[in-house]
Amino acid sequence: VDLEQALRGALDRGELSVHYQPIVDLATDELSGFEALMRWNHPELGTVSPLEFIPIAEDTGLIVESGAWLLEEAAAQLVRWRAQRPAGLPELHISVNISVRQLRDAALVGVVRGVLDRTGLPASALWLEITESGVMEDPEGVLADLRALRDLGVTLCIDDFGTGYSSLSYLRFIPAGIVKIDRSFLAGVGAGSANEAIVRAVVAMAHTLGQEVVAEGVETLVQRDWLREHGCDRAQGWLYGAPRPAKAQLLWMDRSV
């Protein structure tokens, strides 16, 4: 099977879907929102990993259309979830990955505005995840759009933080409200790993800049307890749940463990 050829018709054939992974508020252990992740189920190949098909979607430009589709699906799903969530619990947010290719597409800000208008999702409930390397590929080109998105009221997240080759000085210019620490830095956290010094430094830096910190790849209670104790704001990982379809999600489960 020619993956690129197969991917070209995947959206129209209904082979793409969205999975959601919980993001939890560390202070309360309460569900705070979800990250939306694209899935491709090919009739013969079965599930194709995003690690395989997202790069193809970026190279071919297919990510622009499928990314816009995912954004609208996820926003509409979140509007339904917010309506179902019992009163008294914090409002849920949804986080969507935006690739370099989408960032460089002149239509992006209009696409986001259109999705917010059509679904009725408040901009404050939408997080857009961008990577450092995505911004660094063309800083001048994308900064104006990032500011326009921020001005819509959307929250920008720097995804996979620490894995890129960005200079810290540039980070100051990305108008992000949230830093997501890459899961590679979570190994050994709470067990004396040198990674603890890195996580501590990222939390201190982000908080100084007025940003929140989300730890990715949290798998154990030891990691969770250490992160909470060291001021990390939110967490995401198998401890709380893997990415799953919408119908498999619980919106008000007590996640305290």
When CB distances to Na ion are compared, the closest residue is: 159
Under rule CB under 5 A, residue 145 binds Na ion:
no
Token pair in block for residue 24: 């939890």
The count of other CB atoms within 10 Å of the CB of residue 257 is: 8
Cβ nearer to ligand G, comparing 70 with 142:
70
Distance in angstroms (rounded) separating the CA atoms of residues 117 and 119: 6
Under rule CB under 5 A, residue 132 binds Mn ion:
no
Q: For the chain, first and last CA: distance in Å?
A: 45
**Residue 244 DSSP label:** B
Token pair in block for residue 88: 């008294």
Stretch that binds Mn ion, among 20-28, 63-71, 153-161, 170-178 (CB under 5 A): 153-161
Of residues 44 through 83, those in contact with Na ion by CB under 5 A are none
CB of 187 to Na ion, least distance (A): 15
> Which residue carries 């189920």 as its tokens?
41
Under rule CB under 5 A, residue 159 binds Na ion:
yes
CB of 13 to Mn ion, least distance (A): 26
Computed over its alpha carbons, how large is the radius of gyration of the chain?
Answer: 18
Which candidate, 178, 154, 191, places its Cα nearest to that of 233? Answer: 178
Under rule CB under 5 A, residue 129 binds Mn ion:
yes
159-178 mask for Mn ion (x: CB under 5 A)?
x-------------------
CB of 243 to Na ion, least distance (A): 11
Site residues, ligand G (CB under 6 A): 21, 37-38, 50-51, 54, 63, 67, 70, 97, 99, 159-160, 183, 216-219, 237-239, 241-243
Which candidate, 55, 61, 28, places its Cα nearest to that of 40? Answer: 55
> Which residue carries 């969205």 as its tokens?
18
- In the complex, the residues that contact Na ion under the rule CB under 5 A are 159-160
- In the complex, the residues that contact Mn ion under the rule CB under 5 A are 97, 129, 159
